[in-house]
Amino acid sequence: MPVNHRGLTPRQKDELWARWKEGQSLSDIAEALGKSAGSVYTWLLNDGGFPPTARKRSENHLNAFEREEISRGLVTGMSVRALAQQLGRSPSTVSREIARNGGRQCYRAGAAEERAAELGKRPKACLFATNKPLRNIVARKLQENWSPQQIAGWLRIAHHNDCTMQVSHETIYRSLFIQARGVLKKELVSHLRSRRLMRRAKGATNKLGNIPEGVSIRERPAEVEDRAVPGHWEGDLLCGTSSSQIATLVERHSRYTVLVRLPSKDTTTVVDALVQRVRELPAHLVSSLTWDRGGELAQHKRFTVATDVQVYFCDPHSPWQRGSNENTNGLLRQYFPKGTDISGYTQDQLDAVAYQLNTRPRKTLGFHTPADTFAAWVLR
């Protein structure tokens, strides 16, 4: 479909938000609307990823039909009381409506309706705008890297007798992502784990671009985070020149490293090589693998079937979500500097490099070695 650079019609806006709530990707939405992905992103970002709330007029307010009846009645010389009786409204309501819109001689239904719509643009003040103590607590906890859900849950416990000091996590997200509210500083977004600039639909977690049926890191078990339980690995490719690369695997608890020789980085080759190496490890020490969003693991389901290891994928541009692997790749540059052709290394040579890393004392392990730490769990 050709790209249309014009704005969105009301119908297209409804379709955009419906597809976004379903968790469709930017490229899918753009293709369906005939727009560029950049334009779609801009429209979504303006509202922080939250569908705008549809304006709904109260039944107590006069509507366009009633204003038209008032206009016609005034032309025929009807009294205010007669008009009120005809509309089922109080005489004072009709009288004020006429007075605020030019009087009997100048009243026009269309102009009155436009004026009412303009005056009705008074959104309710955000909770944080009217509750400074609550805003300050939430801002402080965000600076301490608490998630909005953690903050909301903690407030319900800490202030269970004071509903004015409680807030939902969705309200926190709205205040962060919709900067027009101006109640929480934009800089606080950087403390969110996702580092996103807008809210994503829950259904979007399984839609990872060129990774079919990929599972987001957000669905990874909580036990992985604190590194207390071994068996959870991080992986990525370490690239050299001439399209050369090796796969690096790091166990989060022990920092034990495994290097895998790769003739190429197409997904079939990568998955085959990873399956072979993972099968050589103790089965009870390989429970999950967190990978970057590279297409080299597009066949992750085949990897999971062959190894019984669930694969999780990081958010875009978030290497910190694989901190152990990123740190290890930095250490490996001592052996494979940038600009090195890695294709000439044999698997035995890669194993020798991994052995050196695994037998070095690590400060983070209390100056024990990754090899000793990993071995201690092998025997359990």
Least confident of 35-39, 70-74, 76-80: 35-39
In a domain, 56, yes or no: no
Average pLDDT over residues 31-47: 77
In a domain, 28, yes or no: no
What residue spans of 23-90 are helical by DSSP H?
26-33, 37-46, 64-75, 80-87
pLDDT, mean over the chain: 84
Q: How confident is the model at residue 194 (pLDDT cuts 50, 70, 90)?
A: low
**Contacts for 187 with CB less than 8 Å, ≥ 6 apart:** none
Give the H or E element holding residue 153: helix 148-158
For residue 297, pLDDT over 70 is answered with yes
Which is higher by pLDDT, 187 or 98? Answer: 98
Judged on CB neighbours under 10 Å (0-12, 13-18, 19+), 293 is: middle
8 Å CB contact between 119 and 58? no
Question: Using one digit for the tens of pLDDT, what is the confidence trace for 3-21?
Answer: 444 577 888 888 888 887 7
For residue 78, pLDDT over 80 is answered with yes
Q: How confident is the model at residue 1 (pLDDT cuts 50, 70, 90)?
A: very low
For residue 2, pLDDT over 60 is answered with no
pLDDT of residue 198: 64
In a shared domain, residues 249 and 359: yes
The structure's pTM equals: 0.50
For residue 204, pLDDT over 80 is answered with no
What's the total number of domains in the chain?
3
Q: How confident is the model at residue 206 (pLDDT cuts 50, 70, 90)?
A: very low
In a domain, 326, yes or no: yes
In a domain, 162, yes or no: yes
Q: How far apart are CA 202 and CA 210, in angstroms?
A: 19
In a shared domain, residues 366 and 269: yes
Domain encompassing residue 79:
64-119
In a shared domain, residues 274 and 357: yes
In a shared domain, residues 242 and 105: no
Q: How far apart are CA 321 and CA 157, in angstroms?
A: 29
In a domain, 103, yes or no: yes
Which is higher by pLDDT, 64 or 38? Answer: 64
Least confident of 24-33, 333-342, 356-365: 24-33
Average pLDDT over residues 120-138: 76
**Contacts for 128 with CB less than 8 Å, ≥ 6 apart:** 134, 135, 138, 167, 171, 175, 181, 183, 184
In a shared domain, residues 133 and 104: no
CA atoms within 13 A on the CB side of 208: 26
Q: How many residues does the chain have?
A: 380
Q: How far apart are CA 154 and CA 166, in angstroms?
A: 9
In a shared domain, residues 230 and 326: yes
In a shared domain, residues 302 and 182: no
Of the chain, the percentage scoring pLDDT greater than 70 comes to 87
Least confident of 122-131, 225-234, 247-256, 273-282: 122-131
Which is higher by pLDDT, 12 or 48? Answer: 12
Give CA 142 to chain center in angstroms: 16
Q: How confident is the model at residue 336 (pLDDT cuts 50, 70, 90)?
A: very high
Least confident of 26-35, 231-240, 363-372: 26-35
In a domain, 43, yes or no: no
pLDDT of residue 278: 95
Location of structure tokens 């979007």: 204
For residue 260, pLDDT over 90 is answered with yes
pLDDT of residue 330: 92
pLDDT of residue 143: 85
Least confident of 62-66, 174-178, 319-323: 174-178
Under DSSP, is residue 11 helix (H, G, I), strand (E, B) or coil? helix
In a shared domain, residues 114 and 178: no
In a domain, 349, yes or no: yes
Question: Using one digit for the tens of pLDDT, what is the confidence trace for 221-242?
Answer: 877 888 888 999 999 999 998 8
